[in-house]
Structure 1
């Protein structure tokens, strides 16, 4: 029965690793996507120390027989490696070079249009579009999911005119036709693995409505750990060859454990047939 438990636990973890690899491959063309790397950890193991005296003779290993219970998927670590640059020359396309995230926000309303809360999200997706917002009384930069880019204080960046020469410098300063508009906020996350992915290349920063981002995160531009590049996008850091190699390893591991379950079933069948005679 132990062999069945070990192989079953391994197949469960392998299926989760396959889901992780599938997610990486499906987002190979997603702007700013960061892949996750699956790692396994050992389950609880037992040690059998009561062995016959004859087995203790001429042993080169410590006394006791270690019996494991299999392995599980211990962690899917976020790989924060820099993705390659894709030049677009679109003035509202922004690429983060180094560490840091954009803070974007969206107002959630009820059926009557009353404001319920402001939803804050972190992202590295920089393909913004300029669109008028009735709530903010001006034109804002928003993502494909409808979230609005915020400044260094966590408030939406607004433009009075949609037509003009937008210039965004490396330190996040925004000007239109030479007139200063605002400063983009980039936020440093010390442990990105703590961020919860909520889909659409967004992460939950655990910031309640009305809470300033600098109360929890440091400004990546002030810390000199990130810069902005206008007219470019950061591609996904997923490596097709590496993911396909991982996919082959997962398939072989699944076949091995499936075969182990089949052999264990045959052995138990033989033991039952001998006992019934």
Structure 2
């Protein structure tokens, strides 16, 4: 039965690793996507020490280690820089270095009444112009409608698509500084990032923590008219996929052989 438990836990773990690799491959063309790498950890193991103390045939230490299988330890976020894609579109912004844009996700009810606001992080700089009917200006928004915010947490507004963004995030229109700045934010502990879909991240806060306590300005620069491609290496992911599939086949075969052995044992016992 122990071999069944070990192989079953391995199958569940390998399936999770396959899902992680598939997700990386599915986002190979997603702007600003950061791949995740699965790591494994061993489950609880026992040591059997009933072997004879004087065993000249054994080169290993005394005792027999019996494991309980493996599990997914963590899926680490790879924050390495993706390649640059020049687009020459004024609303396309790329972060060169570590950090994220901050956007605000506003929730409304079916009547359009504002309910709550949530700040999120993203590396996807493919912003679009969304009209602000109240002022006649335009917001810079993501594909799902979240609004880019400045260093004070206020929505970034521009008069038209004829604007210039400097490396440090200052916005100029007709050569004049609009006094609006797009900062690049980062968090010291990457493990506090939680992927929530739409190529965005939320922060896992501890009791008493506020988002402003965790954000700090990055030394990264902004490049206008360019986008950051995903950092997924297709050849490396395909190699991981083949290796993981072979591990899945091996554990499936181990379950089948164990089932056959148990069937033989039952037949011998019934005689």
Per the TM alignment, residue 167 of structure 1 is displaced from its structure 2 partner at its CA by 0.7
1:276: which partner in 2?
270
* Greater mean deviation of Cα atoms: 59-68 or 24-33: 59-68
Structure 2: gaps of 5 or more residues: none
Structure 1: gaps of 5 or more residues: none
* Greater mean deviation of Cα atoms: 102-111 or 143-152: 102-111
Per the TM alignment, residue 272 of structure 1 is displaced from its structure 2 partner at its CA by 1.1
2:256 aligned with 1:253: no
Per the TM alignment, residue 254 of structure 1 is displaced from its structure 2 partner at its CA by 0.5
Q: Which of the residues 164, 168, 172 maps onto 2:165?
A: 168
| TM-score calculated relative to the size of structure 1 | 0.91
| Corresponding residue pairs, total | 266
Name the SS for the 1:248 alignment partner. helix
1:263: which partner in 2?
257
1:107: which partner in 2?
106
1:89: which partner in 2?
88
Rounded to whole Å, the distance in 2 between the matches of 1:85 and 1:136 is 34
Name the SS for the 2:232 alignment partner. coil
Contact 2:192 2:204 in 1 (8 A): no
Contact 1:130 1:139 in 2 (8 A): yes
Q: Which of the residues 43, 54, 57 maps onto 2:55?
A: 57
Rounded to whole Å, the distance in 2 between the matches of 1:62 and 1:6 is 23
Per the TM alignment, residue 179 of structure 1 is displaced from its structure 2 partner at its CA by 2.0
Rounded to whole Å, the distance in 2 between the matches of 1:275 and 1:162 is 84
2:13 aligned with 1:13: yes
* Greater mean deviation of Cα atoms: 187-196 or 122-131: 187-196
Per the TM alignment, residue 119 of structure 1 is displaced from its structure 2 partner at its CA by 2.0
Per the TM alignment, residue 109 of structure 1 is displaced from its structure 2 partner at its CA by 1.4
Name the SS for the 1:130 alignment partner. strand
Contact 1:153 1:214 in 2 (8 A): no
Rounded to whole Å, the distance in 1 between the matches of 2:136 and 2:4 is 64
2:218 aligned with 1:239: no
Rounded to whole Å, the distance in 2 between the matches of 1:97 and 1:191 is 19
Rounded to whole Å, the distance in 2 between the matches of 1:67 and 1:80 is 37
Rounded to whole Å, the distance in 2 between the matches of 1:169 and 1:215 is 26
Per the TM alignment, residue 213 of structure 1 is displaced from its structure 2 partner at its CA by 5.2
Where in structure 2 are the equivalents of 1:33-72 lying within 5 Å?
33-51=33-51, 53=52, 56-58=54-56, 59-72=58-71
2:217: which partner in 1?
219
Q: Which of the residues 175, 179, 188 maps onto 1:178?
A: 175
Rounded to whole Å, the distance in 2 between the matches of 1:10 and 1:56 is 35
* Greater mean deviation of Cα atoms: 64-73 or 134-143: 134-143
Rounded to whole Å, the distance in 1 between the matches of 2:15 and 2:252 is 12
* Greater mean deviation of Cα atoms: 211-220 or 119-128: 211-220
Name the SS for the 1:199 alignment partner. coil
Per the TM alignment, residue 192 of structure 1 is displaced from its structure 2 partner at its CA by 1.9
Name the SS for the 1:44 alignment partner. coil
Contact 1:56 1:63 in 2 (8 A): no
* Greater mean deviation of Cα atoms: 192-201 or 132-141: 132-141
Name the SS for the 1:261 alignment partner. helix
Per the TM alignment, residue 115 of structure 1 is displaced from its structure 2 partner at its CA by 1.4
Name the SS for the 2:126 alignment partner. coil
* CA shift digits 1:64-93 (9 cap, x unpaired): 111001111111111111100000001110
| TM-score calculated relative to the size of structure 2 | 0.93
2:26: which partner in 1?
26
